[in-house]
Structure 1
Amino acid sequence: MSYTYEKRWAGLGALCVAMSIITLDNTVLDVALPSISNDLKASMSELQWIVDIYILFFASILITIGALGDQFGRKRFLKIGIVLFSLASLGAGLSTSTIELILFRSLSGFGAAFIMPSTLSIITHMFTDPDERMKAIGLWSMIFGLSQGLGPLIGGFIIEYTSWHWVFFINLPIGVIAFVYASWVLPESHNKSAKADLVGMVLCVIFLFALTYGIIEAGVKSWSDPAVHISLSIGLIVCALFILLERRCSYAMIPFELFEKRTFTIPSFAIALIVFGMVGSMFFFSQLFQTVEGYNAFEAGLLLMPMTLGVAIGAKFSSNGVKRYGAPLIIGGGIIISALGMAIFVVTMDVHMPLWSILVGFLVQGLGMGFAMPPSTDSIMGSIPKAKAGVGSALNDTTIELSAAMSIAILGSYVNRIYLLHVKEIEADPTLLKALQTSIQAAHQAITALPDVSLHENLLNLVDHAFIDGMYHTMILGCILSVLSGILTLWLLPKNA
């Protein structure tokens, strides 16, 4: 115990390094999406799958992996995950087609499922004092936000001076450092009585993939398409079966009794909404900055940096804010502050957005996230018995990842549908029209390749405004949902959360 206690802060550092390769990976990729689309001729739906396949594998198995980590050793599973993630990143960097890239991204998600649940469960094991645990989780949340925020800047630098392949290769040295650091400083911990719900895991994979496929295809085709109906129906039926079996299983991957605690359910919902807004913003704004507004990858990364600064500031003052004003006000207020950032985008959204609105909008959105995430995470982990720390941590991580996956699927489908409705009204030959409908990147490539230069400006203006209109309606939706959710959090979350 003394070994664990004396090295607990060094151990936190090892966990943060391990966790950073996961959070960096997704946000670094966001800036690389336009380059990947141009190089591999990826459509909008393929870009969604490149991001979502990783998240879905991660989210659908990590609760079961968390239980297995509890049973066989959390440190051991963390190290296995680092190795798997690093090897998958190598494969992704060497990919020459979207199919290969999607395959290796799914393997990355498998490795990430070993890493993420181990981090919070080990923190809970090492930090037994509630005040220290809150500080530790606050630091963990700050590093989580910082690594996500630094991702676009690092990705932009890599794209500007090398190629998109290197956004995956960058994970290799970080993985080596994390493996060595974790091996040296982290204690091993177990819960021998933990059992893994493998049947639940299989059902979870099936219903999540079916729902996501249906949502993404609805953006390409329509909600009335038979394939969309079949996919969504399968997803909902399997989801119902999953819930039915989980409620009867003595070692279910999702202990539904936790949802009876408002100190668990409300913060989980808050985190889901925060991540939903953040992931959606980065996915679309990266494409807007580079493809529509003409910024290079590094400049696009810089424009996303104020979100990182806002998260860092919010996370730093979040703990003191909870002690002074209570968790409901800080969490609910943080969500509403995040909505104000989106409101700035709503009123200034244009092909040439003013620089001040981009910087201030992301700063305010990040500030709200930074306020809300640490107390939400602490409330969730504090609601869970220590013996179920791995499962509880995995539930928290699943909330984050599922909201990220649904953000890409739902918002991506929504934006793509509006974009396609506008593009279909453009009068052009079938070959050009097909290219315009593929993605905003493919549209720009096809238009600039036209021999008649006089057509360029008008066609670019039409496709750019089609993309902007989709983003505009998405921001309105996100803003309304955030305000309502913030009010509900203030009302429903107990003051002693």
Structure 2
Amino acid sequence: DTTIVNVALPSIQRALRFSATDLEWVVNGYSLAFGGLLLLGGRAGDLFGRRRMFIAGVLLFAGGSLAGGLATTSTWLIVSRVIQGAGGAIVAPTALSLIADTFQEGPARNRALAIYAGAAGGGGAVGLILGGLIVNYLSWRWVLFVNVPIALALALAAPRVLAASDARSGRLDLPGAISVTGGMTLLVYGLSRAGTQGWSDSVTVAALGFGAALLVLFVLLELRSKQPLMPLRIFANRNRTGAYLLRMVAGATTLAVLFFLTQILQNVLGYSPLRAGFAFLPLGVGIVITAQVTSRLVGRIGARLPITLGSLIVAGGLAWLTRVNVQSTYVLDILPALIALSVGLGLIFFPTTVVAVAGASRHESGVASAALNVSQQLGGSIGLAVLGTIAANVAKGQLVNVRPTRALISQAVTAGFATAFEIGVVIALAGFVLALLVIRVRSPKAAPAALAKAA
């Protein structure tokens, strides 16, 4: 769903008259709801039964998709994307836990999880092509409508093919869910607003301040709660904490690359949505292939080496993208970077998942898997907000005291994106240092679980 909507962003922007910074919220509205509510989704699956919550999440996702396809205003679409994200937040952790419930630990579970990883990565690649086809020959609205029949089919099939899990006594930590989701939303809103209103704007400062306060409140609530949304003891494991941080780094770079390159390809280089979809294909396919190869190596060489090497390769791919300008060509200036990014991200996704879920008790499997996805989604939202603000400020600076023409606007926008990619290099290198200093797993005892969210 992330990739299919990204291809449609330029068409959505024109149809609903989004500004450049507001367009981020088509992506961030989904990501924030998805990331902020994943913990609640994982906990709900543990408490009320995973199959039941899986079906509820799929139906909620279908409702958000239908509403989004019918949107006539930017606000309507963003709200619909938030509903989609809430549905996805229930589906993702329960799906992962259902696999753990259905298959015993060992070769059978590893095969099932490898198929799961392939489906996740393949979905990302298919979304790129399908999004291009739909926008090219139908309408951007159908990138949302297409989810409805698929979701309904899943809801009907689930009771027939998925084992029911027992519900457990307990309660949902609603104050925790509200504080973490509200805090992240305000933080990202403040970062995005700074791109248009500046850092001294009172609303920007208030959003950042209240967002930080809510996140501190979340930590305090979790420390005091008898049944916390996120048991803070899961962070006591050094390697798991490192894996979560590295997935934040990966999420920040991935979402920004998809967002910026979609606009460069269609708005600057003049690609059609279909051609842009095919242009991204090496990224999705490369991640899937690399993740599958890495899954066969991690058991022998450990997780640290591929994670460290992957972070360095991602930094190299982003460094290549800093060369992009209005005269750039796909083959020379974009394709090599996409190949490098696909290899680097494929090396990161699989081993960090192995490290993060290792040792989690069964009754906390939903929360453990949800926390991994939270890291990636919230990292993506924060990264897109920060890099988008940087890109907007650079573009704005390039157009000061000049008469804006289409050529000058394209040049300014591209310069902004190139600067954002430079900051992305720094973020990726921070991940490299983090992997060197924090990750200590060299030869995991358990066979690796192929849970990489390549999409």
TM-score range, shorter chain: over 0.9
Q: CA RMSD in A?
A: 1.7
Whether contact under 8 Å (1:65, 1:196) holds in the other structure is no
The 8 Å contact of residues 246 and 434 in structure 2, kept in 1 or not, is answered as: no
The alpha carbon displacement at 1:173 in A equals 2.3
Match of 1:460 in 2: 406
Any idea what the Cα deviations from partners look like across 1:322-356, whole Å, max 9, x if unmatched? 1232110012212222222212212x311132222
Higher mean displacement: 142-151 or 380-389: 142-151
Distance apart, 1:403 and its partner CA: 1.5
Q: Which of 374, 377, 397 is 2:373 aligned to?
A: 397
2:18 is equivalent to residue 42 of structure 1: yes
Are residues 72 and 295 of structure 1, via their aligned partners in 2, closer, same or farther at CA, if it must alter by over 3 Å?
same
Larger radius of gyration: 1
Residue 166 of structure 2 aligns to a residue in which SS? coil
Q: 1:344 to 1:248 in 2, by over 3 A?
A: same
1:386 counterpart = 2:362: yes
> 8 Å contact 2:41–2:91 — kept in the other structure?
no
For the residues of structure 2 that align with 1:379 and 1:492, how far apart are their CA atoms? 12
How much has 1:134 moved relative to structure 2?
A: 4.2
Give, in whole Å, the separation in 2 of the partners of 1:136 and 1:374: 15
**Paired residues of 1:377 and 1:396 also in contact (CA < 8 A):** yes
Structure 2 matches for 1:337-356, cutoff 5 A?
A: 337-346=313-322, 348-356=323-331
- Partner of 2:123: helix, strand, or coil? helix
Change over 3 Å in CA distance of 1:264–1:193 after alignment to 2: farther
- The 5 Å alignment of 1:68-467 reads 68-190=44-166, 192-346=168-322, 348-356=323-331, 357-427=333-403, 459-467=405-413
Deviates more, 1:176-185 or 1:126-135: 126-135
Tell me how far 1:194 sits from its aligned partner: 4.5
Partner of 1:55: 31
User: For the structure 1 residues 260 and 292, does the alpha-carbon distance in structure 2 shift closer, same or farther, using more than 3 Å as the test?
Assistant: same
TM-score, structure 2 length as denominator?
A: 0.93
Q: Give SS of 1:46's match.
A: coil
TM-aligned CA distance change 1:271 to 1:143, over 3 Å = farther
2:368 partner SS? helix
Unaligned runs of 5+ in 1: 1-24, 429-458
**Local SS of the residue matching 2:287:** helix
Task: Pick which of 122-131 and 228-237 moved more.
Answer: 122-131
* Alignment-mate amino acid for residue 299 of structure 2: K
Q: Over residues 351-383 of structure 1, what are the superposed CA-to-partner deviations in whole Å (9 max), with x where a residue is unaligned?
A: 132222322211220112112212211221123
How far the C-alpha of 1:131 sits from its partner, in A, is: 4.9
Q: CA deviation at 1:124?
A: 2.2
Q: Relative to structure 1, is the Cα distance of residues 342 and 131 closer, same or farther in structure 2, using a 3 angstrom cutoff?
A: farther
Q: Percent identity?
A: 30
Q: How many residues are aligned here?
A: 442
**Aligned pair in 2 of structure 1 residues 395, 196: CA closer, same or farther (>3 Å)?**
same
Q: Residue by residue, what CA displacement relative to the aligned partner does 1:134-193 show, whole Å, maximum 9, x if unpaired?
A: 444343233222222332221111111111111101112221332233222111123514
Does the Cα contact within 8 Å between 1:207 and 1:235 map onto a contact in 2?
yes
Higher helix share: 1
Q: Residue 264 of structure 1 contacts residue 383 of structure 1 at CA under 8 Å; is this kept in 2?
A: no
- Between 362-371 and 122-131, report the one with greater CA deviation: 122-131
CA pair 425-257 structure 1, distance change in 2 beyond 3 A: farther
Q: TM-score, normalised by structure 1?
A: 0.85
Describe the superposition over 1:261-299 as per-residue Cα deviations: whole angstroms up to 9, x where unpaired.
Answer: 023111112222112111110111001110111111111
Displacement of 1:315 in angstroms is 1.2
Aligned 8 A contact 2:300 2:443 in 1: no
**8 A Cα contact 2:306 2:348, kept in partner:** yes
Give the conservation status (yes or no) of the 8 Å contact 1:69–1:190: no
Q: Which letter does structure 2 place at the counterpart of 1:176?
A: L
Q: Which residue of 2 aligns with 1:489?
A: 435
